[in-house]
Amino acid sequence: MRKMLLFFGLLLASGAWAQSARQPNIIFILVDDLGYGDVGVFHQNARKALKDPSVPFMETPSLDKMASGGAVFTQQYANAPVCVSSRSSLLTGVTQGHAVVRNNQFDRALEDNYTIASTLKAAGYSTVAIGKWGLQGTGKNDWPGHPLKRGFDNYYGYMRHSDGHEHYPKEGLYRKTKEVYDNTVNVTEGLDKCYTGDLWTARAKQWIIDHKKEKKSAPFFMYLAYDTPHAVIELPTQAYPAGGGLTGGLKWVGKPGHMINTASGEIDSWMAPQFKNAQYLDKATGKMTPWKDVNKRYATVVQRLDAQVGDLLQLLKDLKIDDNTIVVFTSDNGPSQESYLKEDYTPEFFQGYGPFDGIKRDQWEGGMRTPTIVQWKGTVNGGKTVLQPSFLSDWMPTLLDAAGLAAPARTDGVSLLPALTGKGIQQKQTLYSEYFFDGKTPGYLDFEQNHRNRMRNQMQFIREGDYVGVRYDIRSSDDDFEIYNVVKDPKEKRNLAQELPELQKTLKERVLQLRLRSDEAPRPYDSVPVPPVPGKEARKGMQYQLYKGGFLWVPKGTGLKAVKAGSGDMKTALNALLNSDAGSLSGYLRVPADGAYTFYLKAEGKAFVRLHDIALLDADYGYVPGTEVRQTLLLKAGLHSMRLLFKREGQNPKAALYWSGPGFEKRLLQPADFY
C-alpha cells in the first residue's frame, strides 16, 4: 500500500496529465521510408481529386480514417533523413546534436541512457518492441544495445539493420542470411513464407490480446517498427484476410512453418487487383502507358501497410481499449529511390515527397518531413490539424506527459500535448539536425533547378519559427545558410538569405549552441567556439525554480509548476535548490576570454547541466554519487546561459560545479561568475 501511495504521489507531482484516472496505453507505429506525400490525407487524395490520367495516385483509407478521427501533424520532422539516426533520436528523446548514433552508423548500439521504453516502464508500463531494431551494437546474442537492455520487457523482430532490407526472413529475393529474434532466441527457421509486414502485425495483435487477458487494465507501450516499404519492394503471399481486429484480418497461428495465417501460397506473388493493369497518360508520348512493375509493387506495399494499421486499430476497438490508447503513426524519413530490384523505383511517380523537394538523405523538406497521425479517442478531437513544428524526439516527453511524468533533463524535445489537445500552453523550440552523406540530391524535373543534383556531403538544418536554414556541402562555419519561409514557401523556392542578414547571423550562432561534437561523426564546425548571448544587460545573481514530488530522474522542468521561484546570489539559490525535492538554477556565466574551458560536476544526488541548449554535464542516468563528470568546450568571451537541474537524493544533498580555462586552474564556480 505504501508503494502504491508513493507511486500515485509521484504521478500527481510529476506531470500535467497526472490527474487522469487512467494512464493511456501507447502504440507508436514507425514505418520505413514512407514519404509525406505517400499518404492519402497528406497528398495522394489531392492527386486523385485532379482526375488527371497523367497523375497516378494511391489510396490509404485506413490512415485517412485514423486522421479524420484524430489529428494530423503537417510540420512534423524526422530528426535525420536516414533511418538509424532518426530512430535513435526518437527512442532517446535527443536531437542529432546530442545523439550517440549519427550519420549512417547502422547497427551501432543505442546509448545506455533513458529511453521512451525505460522511462515508461518505470511508470508502470509493460513495454514491447516489434519489428526492425538496428541499434544493437556488435556481438552475437549478447548485443549491448539489445531492446531488452534499453527498457523493453519483450522483443520480436529483426535485430540487424540490413536484415530489414528483406521482407521474407526465411526466403526472399535479395538477402539470404536473415534472423528474427523472439527476445534472445533466433526463431527464423519456423518462419516459412512470412511476409514481415504481416508477421509484425500478427505478432502485435497477439501480444495485445495476451496482455489484455493477463494484465487486464495495466497500461502498455508498444513500439511497432515496420521495415516496409523500404528496400526490396516485395509483394505479400496473398490477399489481406477478410475483416480485421479480434475476429478477422491477420492472425498469429504460432505453429513453426505456419506462424501466421498468410504463411502459405507463393512468396512475392500477390499484387493488389487495382494496380495489375493500371495505366497513366504519358505526356511525353501522349499515350496511355502501363505502370512499371516496380510502381505496382510500391502501391501494393503501401496499401498493405494501410490495411495492417486498420487491422490493429480495429483490434483496439474490439477489445474496448481504443478510448484510452494513444496511437501514433509516422515515418522515419522521406521517401527512398531504392527498390533493390532490377527495375529502379523513383518517388517521382507518386510524388512521394509531396509538395516539397528532397528525398531520403536530403535535408530539404521532402527528406525531413514525415506523415504523422495521432489517434486518442475522447481526448483529441477528430479532424484536427497540428501546425506546431516538431521532431520525432518530441514524442518521448509527449508520451511521458500523457503518462503523468516529467521528462528527464537530458531530453531535448518538448511535450506536444498542448498543441495536440488544445489544453495548456505549447512550448516553442528550435529544431536542429546535422547529417553527412557522400552523394547528390536527385535531379528530378519537378524539383527546383537549384535543388537538383546538389552535392550533399556535410549538411545542417535548423528551424526557427516559420524559417528554415539549410546548408549543403558545408566547408566552413562561415558558409551561409539558405533561408526559406517554409510556411509560405514549402517547396523552398525563394532563398531569403540576402534579405535577412540578422537571421543569418543568428542561425550561424545558434547551431553552435545546440550540439556537442562527436568524434565518430566529425563536422567542419567542430573547432569553432560557442558564441555568447548577444546584447544582454546583466546583474549579479541567479534565478531558481523549485519543484515538489517523488521524481524518478532529474526532471527537465518544462511543464512543471514551481512551488517556489525566486532569485538571489549563487549561494542563496543553491541552498534553496538543495533543500527541495528537485529544481533548477539558471543564469549567465561570464566567460572572461576566448578559449577551451573544462567543466566538472560532482553531486550527492543527481544533476544535469546545460550551457545554452548544449547537454554539458550528465550526472543523472547511472550516476554514482560523489563521482565527477566533466566536459570541455570551446567558448567565446561573454555571457553564456547556464542551467543546473538537480534532484534530491539521500539526507545530505550536495552539488559542486567547477571549471578551468585560459589562465586559471580548476576552481569552484563563484557567485561573481554568474549574472
Mind listing the pLDDT tens digit for each residue in 426-453?
999 999 999 999 999 999 999 999 999 9
Instruction: Say yes or no to pLDDT of 11 above 50.
Output: no
State the angle between helix axes of 83-92 and 395-403 in degrees (0 to 180), rounded to the nearest 10. 30
pLDDT in the model for residue 6: 39
d(CA 273, CA 239): 9
Q: Is the pLDDT of residue 631 over 70?
A: yes
pLDDT of 3 strictly over 80? no
The answer to whether the CB of 533 falls within 8 A of the CB of 638 is: yes
- In this predicted structure, the answer to whether residue 2 has a pLDDT above a threshold of 60 is no
Torsion of CA 343, 345, 350, 352, to 10 degrees: 170
At the topology level, CATH places domain 432-513 in Arylsulfatase, C-terminal domain (3.30.1120)
pLDDT tens track for 181-200: 999 999 999 999 999 999 99
Cα(103)–Cα(520) distance, rounded to whole angstroms?
Answer: 9
Cell of 423: 489544453
Residue 134: how many other CB atoms lie within 10 Å: 24
* 21 has pLDDT over 70: no
Evaluate whether 209 touches 315 at the Cβ level (below 8 Å): yes
Is the pLDDT at 13 greater than 70, yes or no? Answer: no
Kindly report, residue by residue over 587-629, the tens digit of the pLDDT. Answer: 999 999 999 999 999 999 999 999 999 999 999 999 999 999 9
What pLDDT digit, counting tens, does each position of 257-284 carry?
999 999 999 999 999 999 999 999 999 9
Phi/psi of residue 451, each to 5°?
A: -100, -15
Cβ(355)–Cβ(41) below 8 Å: no
Q: So what's the pLDDT on residue 1? A: 35
Delimit the domains of the chain by residue range. Answer: 27-396, 432-513, 542-673
Contact 583, 547 (CB under 8 A): yes
Q: What's residue 15's pLDDT?
A: 41
Provide the greatest CA pair distance for the chain: 81
Rounded mean pLDDT, 36-40: 98
pLDDT grade, residue 660 (50/70/90)?
very high
542-673 shares the fold of 432-513: no
Contacts of 394 (CB under 8 A, 6+ apart): 93, 413, 414, 415, 416, 429
The predicted structure's pLDDT at residue 593: 97
* Topology (CATH) of 542-673: Jelly Rolls (2.60.120)
Given the candidates 3.40.720.10, 2.60.40.10, 3.40.50.261, 1.10.8.640, the CATH classification of the domain at 27-396 is: 3.40.720.10
Q: Would the pLDDT of 16 be above 60? A: no
Question: 7: pLDDT confidence band, cut at 50, 70 and 90?
Answer: very low
> Strand, coil or helix: what is 263?
coil
The confidence score (pLDDT) of residue 26 equals 98
| Residue closest to 639 by CA, chosen among 529, 536, 507 | 536
- In this predicted structure, the answer to whether residue 72 has a pLDDT above a threshold of 90 is yes
Q: What is the pLDDT of residues 116-144, one digit of tens each?
A: 999 999 999 999 999 999 999 987 778 99
Chain segment 301-354, per-residue pLDDT in tens:
999 999 999 999 999 999 999 999 999 999 999 999 999 999 999 999 999 999
Q: Report whether the peptide linkage leading into residue 229 is cis, meaning its omega lies within 30 degrees of zero.
A: yes
Q: CB of 497 within 8 A of CB of 504? A: yes
Give this prediction's pTM.
Answer: 0.95
d(CA 54, CA 241): 32
Mean pLDDT of the chain: 94
